[in-house]
């Protein structure tokens, strides 16, 4: 088996010694080439090259951002699960939502052991992914399409992601406390929290209007606070289309209520109430905004958008589990 190991040297939870141990463990089972990423987008380029060369397996060692780049490289020419390399993930980030949603251990060494067991037993699954693109006929139509593995968001949560990235660029560590502080600051600065600017449109259905927050989930849980899973859309699944959690109001009282619901959410129940819209298993829909709003995918801030079209693509990629 020919395999490529894509290593993010800035992965927050793996040391150089740990990476060496993992590399030797993987190399003992396969013909392995390891490449360390050197710039933003490098993992995407490596994934694309692996697909073009017919590599059997690509292993991403890093956080959700590294995984997202690799996936976008693998799917540069579109999904073809029988032809494209299989994907494996060794978690090395601060949260590792995608890897944990697949059922992998959050520890890199334990995950490597699980990966090797899965390869010996030929365990894999074809998963669905989300695709976001600029909407035809709008000012964003030329924005390149991009795949996401577990979540996307237009509006409030993307603003939080952008604030966290700014803090990290200033040298702050990515911690759950940092995220929570930025949630509070985003809420205090949010100009549209009482009168949302987002409209969700889907074929054959009435539009959902005046939304302040829109979270798109490709799996469940949506994220983790430490070891606590948080379920924004409990029914979301790699085997279905996309789910949406949207809020039409974010007053101080309602935010406190929905935050409590998120923190106490479970696989059976997520946020609910008068100003909550929960949509399940969508294949195609579009989010329009009256004003430019921040967009994030898999925890990566992508700038401001006014219109994004989302597609849920089933069986897009094979992953080792």
pLDDT in tens, 268-298: 999 999 999 999 999 999 999 999 999 999 9
How many alpha carbons fall within 13 Å on the CB side of residue 28?
12
How is residue 86 written in tokens?
Answer: 């299989």
Phi first, then psi: give them for residue 207, nearest 5 degrees. -70, 155
Evaluate whether 247 touches 198 at the Cβ level (below 8 Å): no
Please give the pLDDT value at position 91. 95
Q: Which long-range contacts (CB under 8 A, 24 or more apart) does 118-124 make?
A: 118/88, 118/320, 118/321, 119/1, 119/29, 119/30, 119/57, 119/88, 119/320, 120/29, 123/320, 123/321, 124/86, 124/318, 124/319, 124/320, 124/321
Going by the DSSP 8-state scheme, the letter that residue 237 receives in this structure is -
Q: SS3 for 173? A: coil
CA angle in degrees (0–180, nearest 5) for 238-70-144: 85
Please give the pLDDT value at position 217. 98
Peptide bond into 107 cis (omega under 30): no
CA distance 198 to 213: 8
* Strand extents, DSSP E, 37-123: 57-62, 86-91
CA angle in degrees (0–180, nearest 5) for 149-215-202: 95
Give how far Cα 202 sits from Cα of 220, 244, 286, Å: 22, 12, 6
CA distance 35 to 43: 9
Q: In this structure, are strands 198-201 and 284-297 parallel, antiparallel, or unpaired?
A: antiparallel
Listed as ranges, residues in the chain with pLDDT below 50 are none
pLDDT 10s digits, 60-71: 999 999 999 999
How many alpha carbons fall within 13 Å on the CB side of residue 165?
17
């Amino acid at each position: 088996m020919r395999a490529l190991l894509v290593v993010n040297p800035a992965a927050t939870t793996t040391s150089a010694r740990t990476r060496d141990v993992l590399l030797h463990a993987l190399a003992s089972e396969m013909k392995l080439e390891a490449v360390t990423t050197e710039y933003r987008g490098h993992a995407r380029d490596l994934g694309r090259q692996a697909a073009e060369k017919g590599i059997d397996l690509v292993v991403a060692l890093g956080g959700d951002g590294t995984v997202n780049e690799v996936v976008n490289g693998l799917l540069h020419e579109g999904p073809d699960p029988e032809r494209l390399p299989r994907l494996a993930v060794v978690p090395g980030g601060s949260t590792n939502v995608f890897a944990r949603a697949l059922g992998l251990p959050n520890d890199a060494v334990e995950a490597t052991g699980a990966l090797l067991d899965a390869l010996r037993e030929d365990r894999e699954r074809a998963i669905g992914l989300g695709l976001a693109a600029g909407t035809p006929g709008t000012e964003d139509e030329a924005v390149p399409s991009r795949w996401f593995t577990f979540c996307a968001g237009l509006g409030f949560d993307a603003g939080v992601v952008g604030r966290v990235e700014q803090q990290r660029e200033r040298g702050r560590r990515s911690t759950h406390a940092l995220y929570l502080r930025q949630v509070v600051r985003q809420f205090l600065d949010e100009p549209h929290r009482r009168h949302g600017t987002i409209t969700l449109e889907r074929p054959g259905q009435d539009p959902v209007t005046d939304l302040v927050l829109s979270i798109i989930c490709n799996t469940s849980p949506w994220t983790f606070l430490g070891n606590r899973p948080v379920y924004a859309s409990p029914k979301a699944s790699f085997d279905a289309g996309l789910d949406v959690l949207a809020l039409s109001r974010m007053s101080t009282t309602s935010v406190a209520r929905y935050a409590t619901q998120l923190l106490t959410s479970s696989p059976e129940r997520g946020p609910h109430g008068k100003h909550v819209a929960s949509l399940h298993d969508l294949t195609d829909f579009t989010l329009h905004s009256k004003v430019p709003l921040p967009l994030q995918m898999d925890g990566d801030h992508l700038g401001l958008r006014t219109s994004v079209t989302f597609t849920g693509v089933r069986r897009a990629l094979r992953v080792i589990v």
